[in-house]
Structure 1
Amino acid sequence: MRKLLSVLFVVFSMVGGFCYQIYNISVTLSGANEVPPVMTMGSGTLTGTYNSATGDATLNLNTSNLSGAPVAAHIHAGAAGVNGGIIVPLNIVSNPFVINIPLANRTDFLSGNTYANVHTVNFPGGEIRGQVIASLVVVPTLTTWFIFALMLAISILGVIYFRNGVMARDNIR
């Protein structure tokens, strides 16, 4: 029984690390960030949240002063100053919208190695661009509190069990 309780305690202690995390997403887009840079009055922002458990990002894309209407927008793989392939398209019609970051790209998405790019007819390679910045939101979720309470209860029960087991053994002798 002691081995079982020890194993359960270790397992439940590790579960806390597997809870999902929420990140704030922030991107500032400009022509100066394009590779190579483009001369434009255009600018934009891409903001929202990312759920690490599902890979879903709920985003808002806002642009202003572009040379024409956006014809496409994407999240691309690539560090600052490096062009990369498209990971996922962005909605240029309505806000907010949800995208799913593929599993293979999630680490890069959270570590600044992806960028948003907005394309227009005048700048088919991209008129404005910005690196994706993800910052962890430290807010305990209901799941986190439940796991904490469960771990605490198991710990208390373990202490009571071991204490009573030792006391019973000592009384027998």
Structure 2
Amino acid sequence: MARKKSGSHAGSASTPAALVLAREGIEFTPHGYEHDPAVTDFGGEAAAKLGVDPARIYKTLLAEVDGSLAVGIVPVGQRLDLKALAAALGGKKALLADPVLAERRTGYIVGGISPIGQKTAHPTVLDASAESHPTVFISGGRRGLDIELAPADLRRVTRAIVAAIARR
């Protein structure tokens, strides 16, 4: 992966997520593709169009844990285990956040919510399965843009804790 610097981003990769990664000196590779507006399985679409194993593509979900927002990052082919997310954060109960609230608090639209560069920082949990891959793909901050980076760098930039929070 090439190290991207803030001045070298083409317009398509100049999202808050890409800008944060560049500012932090984190190596990443942007991968753009033509998003089909009729598709609502954003992760499945990314895997197919980028030719990447879906196990390496991670989705970003917002949940309310004991009344406060938190981020869960899990493989696109799996579901967020809300009980496991709550437990990882020392909470008792978690519910998926309303999509309108998620958009407002992150500054991104559903299907393009990146765990990086959100308007408001939230406690973040990365599923432990990410550790088994040399690189993973996350939303780059818009539909049709994924960012590939090392799981350790994703953990560092989001200040994520790692826990088993995905289920089939």
Structures share fold, TM-score greater than 0.5? no
TM range (shorter): under 0.3
**If each structure's strand is expressed as a fraction of its own residues, which one has the higher value?**
1
What is the TM-score of this pair, normalised by structure 2?
0.22
User: Structure 1-normalised TM-score?
Assistant: 0.21
